[in-house]
Structure 1
């Protein structure tokens, strides 16, 4: 068992200090999973600090008169709790001081005081440099307004049985309406959202939505006896939005009440979305419908990605912490994750201040990892969004967001670790482990190839040679077979009406007889030139009559091969006009099926790398190998479809342009066309199966680096 170092070499630096609790700090007792936790709220800044009962027993002794050394010795002699190691004691003291919870009795020098005042005055500059697209300005104290009879009554109405029923009705009505109007609501969504006119409407709608969001927080606080002490304006991507300081909800003892206060804004936005969805369905196209559309968008997608996502420290984060009874969820997770990283690289992790068991520690670390990954995703999503919407200015702001949100804080943290005494003491161990880790990571990225697969849905379609085309034209008079019937060579499929052709042949015969009489008269009169012209006319009439006789012979549409008859996608019906060359259907034999697929251009790098084979995943447990010579891939991306059965309007998986005609259906996006000639005789036309293409192995660097360069270049390049 590892020994715990009780004394600290830095103890002498602070042992004579007399800490005390700041007077503006409010203390509230919470119960988490049967264990008491104390929540300290700084009423001047709104910041909160949660601590265990053992740590709070130490804080009780901070009276401004007792030295730290006396406090520690008193704990040792009291036997009321385990004596904390001095390093752990100093770590708690440092966190309390950095959070503004305690003060020490050391008198600041004039220069130090002046420097602190200057730093306070420049604080807004620091916030601007760290996050140029997110700034907050306090305006006034709304307590007198919110604590009046009208607002108090409204709070009890909204957060009571009547408010709950109205909220459920709005949500249910909005969901049912959205399901009914899903296609027109989501059609061409990306282009509609990024249209400059729509972005302007969205910028105007967002503050109004957030006003109701923040009002819901304020009413919830008031409903349970709290007060809101500050209202202000926050600029998010330069769009002004209201905010309220609802930090007094931390004093509520009930987990459910605190969660409800925090979730009030999210619930309000979902209710707004439900009402807006119902109104949108009834509105006529125009400005009002555009406002409702953006309201729906902001109250659903924006809420899900930001306020409603517990991986960011917004509303849903605190709701999750209260409902799971996990106080300081993110902070504790980060602390545990940092301890694991330090242990991995050979550094002293310091005192373990986490009180949770093994299961809770796994939950905290998992949350910390997921939150860090999501933060990276959100920062880059904002940066790329700014670059795409605002051009050159957006590119500058996007780079600024990445630097301020990711690069600078991480670089600052790494610098703090690099200059720490523990790194200096173990620098050779650290360098050796980092070298091993870096070498292994480099090998994983650029040396070791990994299997590469592309999985796409494919549709069973008929082979081209199975198609039966009309050699004549006319109205369908007789349909001899139904779809699915077996055919033999020579069997009649359908008979076309011959009346029009017979009339036209009779007319040509009459013209031929008249021209023959004219030719005889011209010869008798010795008019050689006229006779030659009439002879040419007779030749043309004979050719036309021969063609009509051929068409009359083709009026009987017969099978030219054995197989099963399948009607065309637009089946021929009795009385319908059939033109020459029109596809009537297919005569499918045992080998007349193939697979067709539409592969997105994002998989182009894998296709260019080669295809070694394929597997068909027809059903669970039914996987079939396909030889490379049965795979045909068109090298150029195109919007044309290999077969119309791939189109969504025909039941296929490919989204198509609604304006393209049925005879030439075009996909919305260009893609690579794949054909496989060995699907299996048991597959039915129109059936969808998954095709997994097998590519030669590729390193992670070769797989992802070109795509990253292309993606970033499209948004931050010279021509972006």
Structure 2
């Protein structure tokens, strides 16, 4: 045994400046220990088995270490476990780095790595911190004033205040709606911004006071910038020394508890304050506290309060790092089925949670970093924006992917020997083939089916309704009377005109023998003729007040609540008359679909109403000019249509994107009950595209965006 111990490899020395202390137990009660690296200010949680090994690390070599563990603690340790532990210590720079002094050499190594990495420089440009204050002395001096607010009695009192505030708010619902409307005014927006700044400052003080009340140090408070967006932060990393999970959770929740408490008392204050700036500020404080605390801080996928609450509630330090390791291990096992040591031994439930959490964070980060890249591109001038856009993609998305591919390359010998690897490769090749294989796909064009012959019924002018002589579904012939209107002002004008004509006639007759009046006869005749022309125009307007059918057909969409005596605007549609015959289809086709359309293939109309039959179109015509505004409201998404619009308030809104008008016909016999249809039926026209690879389509859109945004 002595000979084998002599031949066993020597164990590398641990750094002398490391601190190891007992940590908070895991959620199932297992003890933990924490390794603190004072140089890099990092913490590493280890289990009881690992601390047993490290406490005997000074044994000199692996054989002696195993003998001591077996004799003293009845623990058997294999070579694989020791190799994994040494790899962990080496990866995180916890081993001594030679005789020059581990701390100094490690500090120099970190500085050199940061200086040599352009991607790290870019990341520090996008995500960086600015220390503002060193608050330890202030926090310790003011803690006695704040400590009463941390008692259980104050929590119960605040709960009672919350119930009272909610009751009072329910009695002032109208005032609440009015305050919400006022929040969107310029002064309301300014008040909201100031409220958020003050609340977030108090939020950070909530974390700090919770930490100081437990004897911890809060070395710095400041502002962190994430893609130019400022976020306040508080350094409470000294909480690694706490052994109770409850204490850590209270520190994590201190900020949100502060905001929620302020929101409760601000809500109560709003109920009693008169209208004015103070009440607006109270409303802003109340609503900002609820909304931001719940929607932003509770997100566990970002390193906000929600993440630390989750990690400390589970008793898992460095949750994201350890979850990522588990996620990568699971991914490699699924893809390659290689016997790889699990990063850490966990229960099946916790292991599944860690893997799921890792994948959720990766998906969230992908879209977050993509949004940050687009944000940088949008707010910077074009040339610098393009550089930052691609730099962000490389630094935040490309770098992790390349790092994983590098690991795969190092495992290439094992990967080649695994059958699962060839299966994964086959799936990958099949996916690439699907992306590159030209396929014909269906193009769906939003359309409206209408009668080809229809006559709209409008009032001839703003007029008073006297009689309604048509009904919904009634068959009418051309010239049939539909509505009778009257216009009192028009009747007065007609009477005045008739009176003037009678006056002219009287003067012309009475002055027949008078020489003086005979000299003015020509003038009187001219005036009478002009007045007669005016009267004929007025009588034509009066005749038009009797609305007649412009053609034969069935009455559709008769306006509701038509009653005699009501005034009707001339722009009000009172009904339609539709004639039997063919149907027309009006639609809008997107620019991207138009480029790949195969017009030689048949096109089918499919109505939203499942009771309508599917019909083939004929005479398809697509305009060469795009529309600036939608032809009517049927197509707008705000009215249930399929096209997103820029403005919802426009009578004819502007569509998002480029759309071209499409028109076609459907024979009458293709519809089972043509006169039983509503006037306008939404649906789609199913068209076929030319065979085209999905990769080509995607690249074409990307290229179009790049060309458009580059200004070429």
Deviations 1:585-631 (A, max 9, x none): 3457899999998x7x9x64235544944544558xx7964544599
Match of 1:47 among 42, 49, 53: 42
Q: What is the rounded CA distance, in whole Å, between the counterparts of 1:411 and 1:501 in structure 2?
A: 82
**2:219 maps to what in 1?**
230
Q: Secondary structure at the match of 1:470?
A: coil
Match of 1:605 among 592, 610, 615: 592
Q: What is the rounded CA distance, in whole Å, between the counterparts of 2:686 and 2:265 in structure 1?
A: 46
The 1:562–1:448 alpha-carbon spacing in structure 2 relative to 1, beyond 3 Å, is closer
Q: What is the rounded CA distance, in whole Å, between the counterparts of 2:243 and 2:175 in structure 1?
A: 38
Q: Secondary structure at the match of 1:495?
A: strand
- 8 Å contact from structure 1 (residues 201, 291) kept in 2: no
Matched, 1:381 2:381: no
The alpha-carbon deviation at position 28 of structure 1 amounts to: 0.9
Q: What is the rounded CA distance, in whole Å, between the counterparts of 2:685 and 2:182 in structure 1?
A: 33
The 1:376–1:351 alpha-carbon spacing in structure 2 relative to 1, beyond 3 Å, is same
**2:324 maps to what in 1?**
334
- 8 Å contact from structure 1 (residues 206, 241) kept in 2: no
The alpha-carbon deviation at position 329 of structure 1 amounts to: 4.2
Match of 1:135 among 107, 123, 128: 128
Match of 1:58 among 12, 34, 53: 53
Deviations 1:252-308 (A, max 9, x none): 566565444323434555667788899999999999979987997898479746x43
Match of 1:701 among 695, 701, 707: 695
TM-score, normalization by structure 2: 0.72
Q: What is the rounded CA distance, in whole Å, between the counterparts of 2:483 and 2:404 in structure 1?
A: 80
**1:25 maps to what in 2?**
20
The 1:169–1:103 alpha-carbon spacing in structure 2 relative to 1, beyond 3 Å, is farther
**1:70 maps to what in 2?**
64
Q: Secondary structure at the match of 2:629?
A: strand
Gaps of 5+ in 2: 1-6
Residues 184-333 of structure 1 aligned to structure 2 (within 5 Å): 208-222=198-212, 225=214, 227-236=216-225, 237=227, 241-250=231-240, 258-266=248-256, 268=258, 300=291, 304=295, 307-323=297-313, 329-333=319-323
The alpha-carbon deviation at position 31 of structure 1 amounts to: 2.8
Match of 2:439 among 449, 455, 465: 449
- 8 Å contact from structure 1 (residues 30, 39) kept in 2: no
The 1:242–1:480 alpha-carbon spacing in structure 2 relative to 1, beyond 3 Å, is same
The 1:439–1:214 alpha-carbon spacing in structure 2 relative to 1, beyond 3 Å, is same
Q: Secondary structure at the match of 2:74?
A: coil
Matched, 1:468 2:457: yes
**1:404 maps to what in 2?**
395
The alpha-carbon deviation at position 548 of structure 1 amounts to: 3.8
Deviations 1:544-602 (A, max 9, x none): 54444444333333556564564549x766555557676333457899999998x7x9x
Residues 670-709 of structure 1 aligned to structure 2 (within 5 Å): 672=659, 696=689, 699-709=693-703
Q: What is the rounded CA distance, in whole Å, between the counterparts of 2:166 and 2:585 in structure 1?
A: 43
Deviations 1:84-140 (A, max 9, x none): 4x234322232244446x444x63348x88654433455775654433122235553
The 1:647–1:28 alpha-carbon spacing in structure 2 relative to 1, beyond 3 Å, is closer
The alpha-carbon deviation at position 647 of structure 1 amounts to: 8.5
**2:361 maps to what in 1?**
371
Deviations 1:178-209 (A, max 9, x none): 99479958989xxx9xxxx98x9999876544
- 8 Å contact from structure 1 (residues 174, 273) kept in 2: no
Q: Secondary structure at the match of 1:132?
A: helix
Match of 2:83 among 82, 87, 90: 90
The Cα RMSD (Å) is 5.8
Match of 2:145 among 140, 144, 150: 150
- 8 Å contact from structure 1 (residues 647, 665) kept in 2: no
The 1:91–1:241 alpha-carbon spacing in structure 2 relative to 1, beyond 3 Å, is same
The alpha-carbon deviation at position 371 of structure 1 amounts to: 1.2
TM-score, normalization by structure 1: 0.71
Q: What is the rounded CA distance, in whole Å, between the counterparts of 1:145 and 1:203 in structure 2?
A: 26
The alpha-carbon deviation at position 657 of structure 1 amounts to: 4.9
Q: What is the rounded CA distance, in whole Å, between the counterparts of 1:654 and 1:286 in structure 2?
A: 38
Q: Secondary structure at the match of 2:381?
A: helix
Match of 1:351 among 316, 341, 346: 341
Q: What is the rounded CA distance, in whole Å, between the counterparts of 1:277 and 1:647 in structure 2?
A: 37
The 1:581–1:370 alpha-carbon spacing in structure 2 relative to 1, beyond 3 Å, is closer
Q: What is the rounded CA distance, in whole Å, between the counterparts of 2:578 and 2:252 in structure 1?
A: 64
Q: What is the rounded CA distance, in whole Å, between the counterparts of 2:622 and 2:258 in structure 1?
A: 51
Matched, 1:666 2:644: no
The 1:503–1:629 alpha-carbon spacing in structure 2 relative to 1, beyond 3 Å, is same
The alpha-carbon deviation at position 680 of structure 1 amounts to: 8.7
Q: What is the rounded CA distance, in whole Å, between the counterparts of 1:277 and 1:638 in structure 2?
A: 47
- 8 Å contact from structure 1 (residues 207, 241) kept in 2: no
Q: What is the rounded CA distance, in whole Å, between the counterparts of 1:655 and 1:283 in structure 2?
A: 41
The 1:459–1:399 alpha-carbon spacing in structure 2 relative to 1, beyond 3 Å, is same
**2:3 maps to what in 1?**
none
The alpha-carbon deviation at position 375 of structure 1 amounts to: 1.0
Deviations 1:23-47 (A, max 9, x none): 4333214132455544545567553
Q: Secondary structure at the match of 2:44?
A: strand
- 8 Å contact from structure 2 (residues 259, 293) kept in 1: no
Q: What is the rounded CA distance, in whole Å, between the counterparts of 2:183 and 2:663 in structure 1?
A: 31
The 1:94–1:449 alpha-carbon spacing in structure 2 relative to 1, beyond 3 Å, is same
Deviations 1:382-436 (A, max 9, x none): 2221222232555544444333323345435544654x4x446767989988975
Q: Secondary structure at the match of 1:30?
A: coil
